[in-house]
Structure 1
Amino acid sequence: MYYYPLQPPYFLLLAGFLTALTSGLALSGTLKVIVQQWPSENQENIKPRSSLKQLFVPFLGITAGVCLFLSCGLEIFGFPSPLALGVGLPISLLTCLLVWLQLGSLLVFVQRQGMRSLDLDSWS
């Protein structure tokens, strides 16, 4: 027998998507402001961990939105609610944790080496 939800969470799916999208725009704007402030300040005064603190709230919004979107999407495609949450939550949290760690190491690398170190077009 197939499982069909009586009330598929389409609204929650849309709310998760919009939450992740608006938090992503906020993260992008905050990251641009942080990077623009780097040349004007002394290199000794800048701490990479302080810039990560500014990015934490928008990134937390992205994580919550992705988790909600993924869990609701799995539920719409036939997973029962506890199973959809049990699959969607670890996948989204682990992915967002790895992206957060990569973002932190990339900010430290760019701060030490400069923006020219990210020029991937010169490698070809």
Structure 2
Amino acid sequence: MTFRPIMEHGMYFYPQPPYFLLIAGFFAGVTSGLAFKASLEQLVKAWSRDRSINLTQRAKGQELSIPFIGIGFGICAFLASGLQIFGFPASIAFVFSLPLTIATCALVWWQLGKLLEMLVSGGSKALDLDSF
């Protein structure tokens, strides 16, 4: 893959890599991840105090989904800008990073649902990883 220089006034200029988008995507992913962690901890603590709360149903609400979507947008921007820094055009970078981000987020969301179902059915002992 080669850079395609832009000709302006008889001189060639290479496009500026999107370093700001890289940093902004990373920042969005990290801050949304921290919000997601805090919301998930709060939800599980509320469930441990009152077991009548439908944990899996509440996990699908806005309390967790909005920070999770923020993580997805941050990851997508970070991946796309990282590819652009290595010389890929923006269109190819987003065509590659968008499906990868959607697939990864879907798998993580599915796994979170399975873990919450295990927590509801067997309590915290169901998640004991040392027993494996």
Q: Deviation digits for residues 4-63 of structure 1, max 9, x if unmatched?
A: 6511000000000000000000000001101111122133x4241222212100000000
**Residue in 1 that maps onto 2:74:** 65
**Residue in 2 that maps onto 1:50:** 58
**Residue in 1 that maps onto 2:90:** 81
TM-score (norm 2): 0.86
Is 2:126 the partner of 1:117? yes
Q: Relative CO higher for 1 or 2, CA cutoff 8 Å, sep ≥ 6?
A: 1
> Is the 8 Å Cα contact of residues 39 and 64 (structure 2) preserved in structure 1?
yes
Q: Percent identity?
A: 44
In 2, Cα distance between equivalents of 1:42 and 1:62: 29
Question: Where do 5+ consecutive residues of structure 1 fail to align?
Answer: none
Q: Figure out how many residues of one structure are paired with residues of the other and give that number.
A: 122
Is 2:112 the partner of 1:103? yes
**Residue in 1 that maps onto 2:24:** 15
Runs of 4+ off more than 3 Å: none
